[in-house]
Amino acid sequence: MKTLVSLAPVLLLSGLFVTTAPVHGQFPLTSRPGDQSFRVENVIIQARDGVHLHARIWMPTELQAEAPAILTLTPYTSDDGQRFGQFYASHGYVYVNADVRGRGESEGEFWPLERDGPDGSDIVRWIVRQPWSDGQVGMRGGSYRGMTQWQTLKEHPEGLVTAVPTASVHPGWDYPSPSGIFLSYAARWLAFVEGKASQSNLFGDDDYWNGKYLEIYSEHRPFSELDDVTGLSPRVFERWIAHPWYDEFWQEMNPGQADYAAIDIPLLTITGYFDGDQPGAMKYYRDHMAHGSDTGKARHYLIIGPWNHGGTRIPQAELGGLTFGENSVLDMEAVHLAWFDWTLRGGPRPDFLQDRVAYYVMGSEEWRFAPTLEGVSPGSRDWFLSSDGAVSDVFHSGTLSRSVPTSPGTDAFVYDPLEEPASPAAVASATSSYAGSGLAFVPGPKAIYHSPPLEDSLTISGYPTLELYLELDVPDTDLLAGLYEVRRDGTTILLGQSELRARHRNGVDRSELVTPGTVEMYSFDRFYYLSRTLREGSRIRLVVSPLDSPERDKNYNSGGNTVEETGADARKATIRIHHGASYRSRLILPVGRM
């Protein structure tokens, strides 16, 4: 059987132009250059504390009147905006691409993920004072550049009229430690942005980085030594690993409830079903929907499609062995341009945005629209776990049924952190195939459950959730839940995965060790948002296993500080899954509109 589509985001990629493709023929998306020639200049902008920030500006050669500006704040040096600058200047906009503090030609000290909001606000205020400015600024950019938009929005600078945050990093929530479990990739990315200039050759060496991750993992060395092993400066890495879960250190980098309540400008959030920063992009969106004003929420649009991290900028019709409809390949710069023409120039609302939520249904290969996320999935289906005691492989598995099992039962597997789950080659291969996600699923102990064949097609739209009644004999461990569609021909499609560190079972913003021997309900609620139509005759597969990967800081089950633990701290864990009428372990699938 072949498994298709790994959730394999590669974080913080640059965006370029994309192939033209229509959406139901409704909106002819084309990011062709405009008619105006342009010129380039470099400027220095003084921040409020006197630090000089560098920006590169592209503007029409013959600027006939004051014009709106589009701003991007980048850690990858201002040169990365060349194609975007040309494009927007040719359409009559002034494009400003600014180096964040301490990067490129900007002065100061770079503290990744922190402190970009005040500088973004100062740059907005500088722009509106320029003689070529009409007093309006929009922001755009993906990944880190999406995060800088939210940090600038937090400052509420006068003149910021709209923003299009794409695949936005949410510090502490999805990077560098999603679910309170550090990504090894964090060291690789920090090496990329170390110093003033780009370190792209070092960053791009997959063999080097995967080898270093495997060295730490196979030798059972503490995760905290990853900077030393890779040659990374400890300045930022050690600052990050001192905060292994979503505490105040991370929370202060992001907007709070009062900030969301005050944001009422038009916003367009873009993310993908396989985007490694989807959790961050969607947290910003959902927090704004929860705390924003009625006016603010009514002006916030969302586009989510079948794209990975880079695909949110350059969509592709094929990903991880799956092929989507050509209508999934939006021309993202055409989408941006139509948005800016609407919000900055008083043009019509883009035809594509038929409602505030635009989402692509995989399997049905069509775009659908809803006023809210709640309107996408009006209901849900529960699938209850049960077994006859055999759950260890696909041929001896438990059951997912729509009815509550009458008989109590318990399934168990044992996880030994010192036991090699596979050969080093197999581990390296799994690491490579899931590069950047930290969700490598190597062979080892597991519990597997299957549903009966679906009598009709079923559209899942929303966030799956798994509620398991678990009993551990250790104070902590890491677990991974995988959800799949298994088609009649044996083709297996990965629908999503949710990791959980037991100490964060009550929330990633708190840390509470387990009392061994107690039965508690653990909610696996970090599945990605998705929309897919499952075929009639398909079965749903659920796999619960240890999370044991070179891509993450390893949990040795002792209850200690995982970034400092070594093989000497390892404790063998027995994980028991309880089910039945008293312990209703269940998979909850959001059912979308047909």
Q: Is 382 within 8 Å of 403 (Cβ atoms)?
A: no
Q: What is the pLDDT of residue 442?
A: 46
Name the β-bridge partners of 138. 70, 162
The CA distance from 502 to 513, in Å, is 7
The CA distance from 200 to 190, in Å, is 11
Q: What is the pLDDT of residue 63?
A: 85
End-to-end CA distance of the chain: 29
Map out the domains of the chain as residue ranges.
20-182+244-375, 184-232, 379-591
Q: Is 533 within 8 Å of 364 (Cβ atoms)?
A: yes
Q: What is the pLDDT of residue 34?
A: 76
**Residues of the chain scoring pLDDT < 70:** 1-31, 421-443, 594
Nearest to 261, CA basis, from 370, 139, 153? 153
Please give the structure tokens belonging to residue 463. 């966030």
Q: What is the pLDDT of residue 594?
A: 62
Q: What is the pLDDT of residue 420?
A: 73
Please give the structure tokens belonging to residue 545. 């296993």
The CA distance from 372 to 381, in Å, is 20
Q: What is the pLDDT of residue 436?
A: 32
Q: Which residues have C-beta within 8 Å of that of residue 396, sequence separation ≥ 6?
A: 390
The dihedrals phi and psi of 500, each to the nearest 5 degrees, come to -150, 125
CA dihedral 268, 269, 274, 277 (to 10 degrees): 150
CATH class of 379-591: mainly beta
Write the CATH number of the domain with boundaries 20-182+244-375.
3.40.50.1820
The CA distance from 312 to 145, in Å, is 13
Q: What is the pLDDT of residue 485?
A: 97
What value, to the nearest 5°, has the Cα angle with vertex 108 and ends 106 and 114? 100
Let me know if 48 is exposed, middle or buried by CB neighbors in 10 A (0-12, 13-18, 19+).
exposed
